[in-house]
Structure formats: C-alpha cells, structure tokens
Homo-oligomer: A and B are copies of this chain.
Amino acid sequence: MPPAFRFRLLATDGAARCGEISTPHGAVATPAFMPVGTQATVKGLLPEAIRLAGADILLGNTYHLMLRPGAERVAALGGLHKFMNWPHAILTDSGGFQVMSLAALRKVEEHAVIFRSHLDGTLVELSPERSIEIQTLLGADIAMQLDECVRLPAPAADLERAMRLSLRWAERSRRAFEAAPAGRALFGIVQGGDDPELRLASASALVDTGFHGYAIGGLAVGESPAVMRATIEAVAPALPVDRPRYLMGVGTPADLVEAVARGIDMFDCVLPTRNGRHGLAFTRRGPVVLKNARHAEDPRPLDEESPCAAARDYSRAYLHHLVKAGEMLGAILLTTINLAYYQELMRAARAAVVAGQFEAFRAQTVGLWEQGDIPPR
C-alpha cells in the first residue's frame, strides 16, 4: 500500500507555514513550488534534472494531456508518472483554466464547458465528472476540481456567477472523486475574483463540502500585486489550518515570498521555465537578461554562490552566446537555473519558518533583489 495523502503542519511563524504533504508518490516539503510539465514534460529538462533542482512535485496540464496523447492512452501505458518517468508526486489541474485561455469557441454551460481543441478543432466537452475521470486516469496524486476562472477586472455579477457555478462543480467533483483509488487527494478552488465577500462565501461553502486541500484560483489574471496580496489575506484565514493551501498560477519570486508570508503552502507557475527559454535568469540578485550585450565578454558565472551547478559552471559570456545563437542548451541551462532558484527560495522559506526567522528572511531576500545584479569587477 503506498502512503495516503496527508498534510502535517510542522511550524508556523506569523502567518507563514512550513509543512509536509505525504502522497502515494513521496513527500512534498511545503512551501512547495511545482514546475509545470504541460505536455508530460517540463520543457527541456530530463526528469532527473527536475529532481536535482529540488522539486518534490510537478504539475501536469489536464487540458493538454486529454487532447494529446489522451488520458485513456496514458492510463493504458501505466499512468503519467510512468509515462514521463517521474516517480515523484504529481498534481494535475482540472483543465478549466487552459480551456479559457487556449481553446476556441468555448462555451460554459451548467453541465460542462464545451470547446474546440486548439490542435485540430475537435469539439470536446469537459464536465466536472470527466475532469476527475481524466485526472484519475492520469494517476494524479492531487486532483483539482473543475472551476471557471474569470479574468480581472470583471463585473461583480460575472464574478459571482462564475463563483457559484464553480461551487456547484466543486460538489459534483467531490462526488465523482469518490470513485478514485484510495490515498489520492482532491482540492477545491476558491473563486470570487477581487471581491472579498465573494471569496469568503466561496471558501466557506468549499470547507463545508470538505476537501483534502484548498486552492485560491482566479489570481495572476490581470490584477495588481496589491489586489493579489489583499485577496490572499482575506481568504487564507478562512481555510482550515490542517489542510494545504495552493495559490494557482503564481508567480514571481516576490509573489511567492509575499504569499508564503500570508499562509500559502503551494505554488505553480510557468515563469521560471518560460522565461528561461527566453533568456531571462532569476537570481538572488533579481532577474538577469542574458541577451544584454553587457554579458558578452563577462567570464563570471551567473552566481558563483548558487547551489545549482548550471549557475556556477558556465560563464555569462557563454550563456549570452547560447541565447544569441538560439541554442537549445541556453534554454536548458536557464530553465535549470530558474527552477533551482525557485526551489532554493522555497527551501530557505521553510528553514526560516522553522527557525522563527521568516521576517528576517523576507527582508534579506527582498533587500538582495533590490541591490540588483552583481556588478562586474
């Protein structure tokens, strides 16, 4: 019997938390950052490199995987862990967010969302029940309810309609999930946009239904950092302390630190991977754009104090050359460096919470970012 899903809160410091999630595919130290493995691969990285960068858990995209190669095919091949050779934990999203952002002709009905595949135009119906079925076929350790995510700013009526629909879908997801193998987890998703009252109504109803964990959806969709932080501050206290809290699709290193400070335990975001492919490195000293001419003759590594070998073993001049030449290795090294930086940030946040030093960690981290890149000697 593999271990069942379980969350243990190990320490708190103010609102910041340090914990551990058990899953059928191993433990996840929280706060945790989940690299995004959209099409059953974190773009450009071997599974062992993702693990070496410090990840305990990946995110898989239901929307992409249901369209290609298909959930039934992945299941026949032994599930997503085996398919992509990643033996550690996997969380899958519900598919809802990507339907909204990628698919054509999408139509949200009470029963389901109906859309055309961005790959071949096929008409597809995704209901809460089908989303859970797909995520179960993929073998996700943590599944997400189907929800409707509204881009901000949006009229209050739209936010409330989507929030109420998401709650009805949460109930249906919860029932559908009863057929899933034991030990796996289902998270509900708090919606309600930038309206604190809608958010609290959503959180309260979800907690009544009961989930293994709770996500905050519908952020990082156009609102200001201040709105994001205020929304987290409103929602987090309404969630049970003994369940993990996942802020979906967020964010920059600063977003992560501020969200941890407000009680968030889990994150996913394409920023470190997508920006890595486009020549931007996240470092202790803030973002560094490797394409800039100032790096062309710079023999120094990106950060000689980094725990990541890719940040130590290659000169800025070489990274600059690879980015300018459009070489895959540039994307590979910078994706590795960025994921390792995000993981290091989470590791340091966990250690700070355990030591009761979170405020000092936050001040020091932000202070280093504000200093900017290490100047050439």
**Chain B residues within an 8 Å CB radius of A322:** 39-41
Q: Is the CB of B68 within 8 A of A299?
A: no
Q: Which 6 A-B pairs have the closest CB atoms?
A: A44-B328, A41-B329, A69-B321, A39-B325, A41-B327, A77-B299
A314 contacts the other chain (CB 8 A): yes
> Nearest Cβ distance between residue A136 and chain B, in whole angstroms?
20
**Chain B residues within an 8 Å CB radius of A297:** 73, 76-77
Given A73-B296, A297-B77, A329-B46, decide whether A68 and B321 contact each other with a Cβ distance below 8 A: yes
Given A39-B327, A314-B85, decide whether A332 and B44 contact each other with a Cβ distance below 8 A: yes
Q: Is the CB of B332 within 8 A of A40?
A: no
A121 contacts the other chain (CB 8 A): no
Q: Is the CB of B39 within 8 A of A315?
A: no
The docked-state distance in angstroms from the alpha carbon of A83 to that of B319 is: 10
Q: Is the CB of A85 within 8 A of B329?
A: no
Q: Is the CB of A299 within 8 A of B329?
A: no
Q: Which of B78, B83, B315, B332 contacts A83 (CB 8 A)?
A: B315
**Chain B residues within an 8 Å CB radius of A51:** none
- Residue-wise, chain A 326-350 has the 8 Å CB interface mask toward B (1 for contact) of 0111011100000000000000000
Known: A43-B329, A77-B299. 11 other contacts (CB 8 A): A40-B322, A41-B329, A44-B329, A44-B332, A46-B332, A46-B333, A68-B324, A68-B325, A77-B315, A83-B318, A85-B313
Q: Is the CB of B321 within 8 A of A40?
A: yes
Number of this chain's copies in the assembly equals 2
- Give the number of chain A interface residues (Cβ < 8 Å): 34
A45 contacts the other chain (CB 8 A): yes
A84 contacts the other chain (CB 8 A): yes
> Nearest Cβ distance between residue A332 and chain B, in whole angstroms?
7
**Chain B residues within an 8 Å CB radius of A76:** 297, 299
30 contacts between A and B (CB under 8 A): A39-B321, A39-B322, A39-B325, A39-B327, A40-B321, A41-B327, A41-B328, A41-B329, A43-B327, A43-B328, A44-B328, A44-B332, A45-B329, A46-B329, A46-B333, A68-B325, A69-B317, A69-B321, A73-B317, A77-B297, A77-B315, A77-B317, A77-B318, A83-B315, A84-B318, A85-B313, A85-B314, A85-B318, A328-B328, A328-B332
The docked-state distance in angstroms from the alpha carbon of A333 to that of B76 is: 22
Interface centre among A40, A41, A68, A296 (most CB of B within 10 A): A41
> Nearest Cβ distance between residue A41 and chain B, in whole angstroms?
4
Closest to A49 in B: B46
